[in-house]
Amino acid sequence: MIPSLLLFTLLASLVLLVIGLPLLLAPGRVESPVRAFPRNRALGIATMLLGGGWFLWKILNLGPSDFGNYRHLLFLLFAATLFGSIYYVRDFLAVRGFAILTLLCANVGLKSAFGHYEIPERLFLVTLLYLFIVAAMYFGTMPYRMRDLLDFLFRQPLRVRVCGVFFTVAGLSLAVSAVLY
């Protein structure tokens, strides 16, 4: 089920504000949990199971033109990959799981914006989604770079605040653009 463009834009705005405001207002208080995120085992298992489950559900709903005749074989292959990843690839599992969730959510967002050519404000959402897709592919393939980025950000509180400003302004801009739909 694809949500409406308005609903998805408002949800994306809320997510960006939830990420951005703590980084902007209290960078010292969020430093410890944010730095612990890449190697957080429980969060890694949760995000992998959530993202992997969503992906496996998508596999089960493939049509005949999308390898649907092989969906049960694909399901078994990707389920084995999911549980093998959780068991054997423990390092930076949360980053990989978050990348999977980001890609799947971006897919839903792009589908909700598709075909609404009469609404030029949707392009701000689409641009942000493509930026997050690139970031998810980058950090999903090289998850240790997330640790390096967080080390770089938290070396100076100003960098964290600038990151918070980016997410907050992006969230507010999405909310404004949603009102203009």
> How confident is the model over 97-115, as pLDDT tens digits?
999 999 999 999 999 999 9
DSSP sequence for 106-126: HHHHHHHHTT-TT-TTHHHHH
Residue 27: the pLDDT is 87
Q: How many CA atoms lie within 13 A of 101 on its CB side?
A: 16
Burial of residue 161 (number of CB atoms within 10 Å: 0-12, 13-18, 19+)? middle
Residue 135: the pLDDT is 97
> How confident is the model over 37-77, as pLDDT tens digits?
999 999 999 999 999 999 999 998 888 888 878 888 999 99
Among 93, 12, 7, 8, residue whose Cα is nearest residue 47: 93
